[in-house]
Amino acid sequence: MGSLLNAGSVGFVVIAVLVLTAVGFVLTKRKALASVSGDPRQLHSLPNYYGSFAAMVIAVPALLLTALWMLVQPMLIQNAVIDLIPAESVAEGSSVNLVMSDVRRVADGLDVAVVQGAMTAQAAVALDANETDVRALLADVGVALGSEVSGPVLAAAQKYRVLTARGTSTMAIVVLALALVGMLAAMRISTGTFRARNMVERGILALLILAASLAILTTVGIVLSMLFESINFFRMHPWTDFFFGGSWAPNFRGDSDLSILPLLWGTLYISFIALLVAVPIGLFAAIYLSEYASNGVRSFAKPLLEILAGIPTIVYGLFALLTVGPFLVSVFGRGENGMLGVEWMSGATAVLTAGLVMGIMLIPFVSSLSDDIINAVPQSLRDGSFGLGATHSETVRQVVLPAALPGIVGAILLAASRAIGETMIVVLGAGAIARFSANPLDAMTTITTRIVSQLTGDTNFASPETLVAFALGLTLFVLTLGLNVLALYIVRKYREQYE
């Protein structure tokens, strides 16, 4: 909450910069026109460009500096304050970072207390941990703390508050000064011969490049965020056990077995069943729609199959849990009451449940990708085959499909990558037990399910049980990336170049 107060003062700075921008726009435009005695035809660019130039010069450096400052300031302040925490204050089994977050919370709470009027600003500075119960004081204003506030922690929190306030006010002054300097410089340079439009267009190009590089930034962010935590995890848990161990059994005692192999098996098994369902149905549907179907049937069936692709995966997950699961149990389980009279399946969540539903979800994926690829095979090949007397199905089987094979293999790999990364269907439809079993009627868990359960549980964030989720996520990312790259490579390498 205190960080929101900080955000409030940052908000003021941003609004001030924006106001300056608007003022600068108007003033610069007026100055440019005045420099040519009011005749816009004498200007190099349209008058608005002069105003836009001023706006860019004022707003962009100032806002960039604000963003950078707000990103860097907490780190610098943390480094300065962390020295104040004596080593004895760090309790057993805790870490300096946890104490640091306590310090932050106390500092924020004191800010909230001052804002709400529970104490004056001077009283907040003069607090003594031994005299007042700071924890109760903060609880009164709605800030919950996990433990009592000790002397060093309070001192650190006070220093944190002071440094943050000082930093924010310095930033406000510097940013506003920068904006003013920008405005004066823009006004000075805006005369009739100044090539304002070129400058503005260069600035817009820079913004466009920034937007395009956000894609790279996202990928880098994904990899780095998972990499750091994974490294932390591998410091606590041997990587040989993670990649080559045999069981997954997290517990609170600290000696958990955390191996990816059972999860990988579950993931691959479910994806295999999903592909077993989706590939034949999707491929044959695509062949029929592109080769045999009349225009009417095609315009009717294709959109309907696309609807299957647009349904959110939570719907499929619920469908698996509440409809397909009980149906399969009634067929394969329940002893004498079931359809087959066997007791093979005990619970509704099983590999078969999740696999079947995931297959249904992947049908339109495979179908539309294959459809595009089959359509891309030139008609001349088909005509040649017909000319030799082949039936339509023989043409498809022996000419069209081999020609389209690289693309179809690429489509299957993409579908496999989608199946491996799917979360909601397996969270609801597969089980939570990690095991190596070849029985599709057993419950088995997957990588994605465990990521969700390890990160949403009540475990301590710095424990290996929680950090393993980042390692799992990194493995999953690399796996799906590898499949996608492989699909692209196969398509590119083996694709026939027709005319």
Partner 1 sequence: MTDMPIEDAGAGARPRKGSLLTQDARTRKRNRAEARFKAYGMIAIGVGLLMLVILLTTIIGRGTGAFQQTFLTVEVELLEAKLDKKGNRDLADIKKVSTFGYAPLMRAAVEAKVAEIGFETDLKPKDMANLLSKNAAATLRNFVLENPDMIGETVEFEFLTQSRVDGYLKDRVTRASVANDKNISAAQLDLVDALVADGSMEKRFNLDFITGSDASDQRPEAAGMGVSMVGSLFMMLVVLALALPIGVAASIYLEEFAPKNWITDIIEVNISNLAAVPSIVFGILGLAVFINYMHLPNSAPLVGGLVLTLMTLPTIIISTRASLKSVPPSIRDAALGVGASKMQSVFHHVLPLAAPGILTGTIIGLAQALGETAPLLLIGMVGFIASNAPETIGEGLMSPNSAMPAQIYEWAKRADPAFYERAWGGIIILLVFLITMNAIAVMLRRRFERRW
Kindly identify the residues of this chain, within the stretch 176-215, that bind partner 1 according to CB under 8 A. Answer: 197, 201, 204-205, 207-215
Burial (CB < 10 A; 0-12, 13-18, 19+), residue 312, is exposed
* Residue span binding partner 1 (CB under 8 A) among the ranges 27-35, 112-120, 178-186, 387-395: 387-395
Of the pair 55, 396, the CB lying nearest partner 1 is at: 396
Of the pair 87, 304, the CB lying nearest partner 1 is at: 304
Give the nearest distance from C-beta 355 to partner 1 in angstroms: 14
| Residue 97 near partner 1 by CB under 8 A | no
Give the nearest distance from C-beta 98 to partner 1 in angstroms: 13
| Residue 221 near partner 1 by CB under 8 A | yes
Distance between CA atoms of residues 361 and 371, nearest Å: 17
Q: Judged by CB under 8 A, which of 13, 183, 264, 287 binds partner 1?
A: 287
| Residue 317 near partner 1 by CB under 8 A | yes
Q: Which of 16, 4, 25, 29 is nearest to 62 (CA)?
A: 16
Distance between CA atoms of residues 394 and 350, nearest Å: 39
Q: Judged by CB under 8 A, which of 311, 339, 340, 432 binds partner 1?
A: 311
Is the distance from CB of 144 to CB of 109 less than 8 angstroms? no
Of the pair 109, 344, the CB lying nearest partner 1 is at: 109
Q: What angle do CA 46, 52, 57 make, to 5 degrees?
A: 135
Determine the residue type at 175.
Answer: V
Of the pair 228, 243, the CB lying nearest partner 1 is at: 228
Both tokens of 31, joined, read: 């100055």
Give the nearest distance from C-beta 128 to partner 1 in angstroms: 28
Of the pair 8, 335, the CB lying nearest partner 1 is at: 8
Q: Judged by CB under 8 A, which of 151, 246, 280, 335 binds partner 1?
A: 280
447-466: contacts with partner 1 (CB under 8 A): 448, 451-452, 455-456
Burial (CB < 10 A; 0-12, 13-18, 19+), residue 218, is exposed
**Helix (H/G/I), strand (E/B), else coil: 248:** strand
407-446: contacts with partner 1 (CB under 8 A): 414, 417-418, 420-424, 427-428
> Distances in Å between the alpha carbon of 328 and those of 20, 80, 269, 349, 430?
67, 62, 18, 10, 13
Give the nearest distance from C-beta 88 to partner 1 in angstroms: 27
Identify the H or E element spanning 83: none
Give the nearest distance from C-beta 133 to partner 1 in angstroms: 26
Distance between CA atoms of residues 451 and 330, nearest Å: 31
Q: Judged by CB under 8 A, which of 117, 216, 253, 254 binds partner 1?
A: 216
Q: Which of 160, 98, 105 is nearest to 138 (CA)?
A: 105
Tokens 């993409």, located at residue: 414
351-380: contacts with partner 1 (CB under 8 A): 360, 363-364, 367
Of the pair 238, 482, the CB lying nearest partner 1 is at: 482
> What number of CA atoms fall less than 13 Å from residue 237's CA on the CB side?
27
Binding map of partner 1 across residues 2-41, x = CB under 8 A, - = no contact: -xx-------------------------------------
Q: What are phi and psi of 41, to 5 degrees?
A: -70, -20
**Helix (H/G/I), strand (E/B), else coil: 325:** helix
| Residue 218 near partner 1 by CB under 8 A | yes
Give the nearest distance from C-beta 24 to partner 1 in angstroms: 22
Distance between CA atoms of residues 183 and 339, nearest Å: 81
| Residue 234 near partner 1 by CB under 8 A | no
Count of residues interacting with partner 1 (CB under 8 A): 86
Q: Judged by CB under 8 A, which of 22, 80, 314, 340 binds partner 1?
A: 314
CA dihedral 386, 392, 395, 396 (to 10 degrees): 150
Neighbours of 172 (CB within 10 A): 18
Q: Judged by CB under 8 A, which of 292, 436, 494, 498 binds partner 1?
A: 292
152-181: contacts with partner 1 (CB under 8 A): none
